Each structure stands twice: as structure tokens, then as C-alpha cells.
Amino acid sequence: MRVYKHFTEMEVWQKAKMLTKLIYEATSTGTFSRDWALRDQIRKASVSIPSNIAEGFERGGNKEFIRFLSIAKGSAGEVLTQLHIAMDLGHLTENEFERLQDQTVRIGRMLGGFVQYLKKSSRKGPTYE
């Protein structure tokens, strides 16, 4: 893995930020836009993913980074659950659901893999391979 100088260079952060944009778009129209509780909750959970990646990176050590990546992975699980609920309520089309679900699952897997890498890594400083 490469060394990152800034969290914005990380593919997982970039994909998480894009997921947040897609979530905001999906929740801005139709019945989803009027389901304030679910709309706000899924938006907050999606924002939490790239935010926790960034915060963990900026902490400067593997233990803290792992902790925040784990929180981000939990937020991805939260988004996935809320997507299922939104689908059950008819707020999303099948295509929208599948696209958002695929993105969310992929990000969760990337975060899990990154955590496993960091747990095994001898690098402990502010940049990560």
C-alpha cells in the first residue's frame, strides 16, 4: 500500500464522500424528501463515514486511526440498514437501492480491509501505507 500524506488521497475516503453526495441526492426528491426522520438519519450516517476516516487519519497513530475507521465502518452498516428501510417504505427504486447498497457494501469492505492492514502494520506514525 502507498503512503498517504493527506486523507483526501485515500480511495476509501473519496468513495465515502461520493456516497454521501449520492445519499443527499436520493433523499432530496419524492417521498424520501418528506420522511424527515429517516432522511436526516441516513444523511448523518453517510456524512459520518468520510468524517471519521478524516478524523482518525488526523489523530496520527494506528490505534486512533483503527478506532475511527471502525466507527466509519459502523456508520456504513447504519446507512445500509437505512437503505433497506427506505426501500421497504417505497422511498427508493430498485435501481437506486442497488446502486447505493453496492457502494455502501464496497466501502465497508474497504474499511474492514484497511483496519486489518493497520493492525498488522509496523508503521505507527502519522502516515499510513
Tens of pLDDT, residue by residue over 77-115, are 999 999 999 999 999 999 999 999 999 999 999 999 999
Average pLDDT score, the chain: 93
pLDDT average, residue stretch 113-121: 91
Superfamily grouping for domain 7-120: 23S rRNA-intervening sequence (1.20.1440.60)
Read off φ and ψ for residue 93, nearest 5 degrees: -80, 165
Per the structure block, which three cell numbers stand in for 115? Answer: 483496519
**Where residue 51 falls among pLDDT bands split at 50, 70, 90?**
very high
**pTM to 2 decimal places:** 0.92
CA-CA distances (angstroms) from residue 64 to 20, 71, 100?
23, 11, 28
| Identity at 93, one-letter amino acid code | T
Distance CA 78, CA 104 (A): 10
Average pLDDT of the segment spanning 5-9: 93
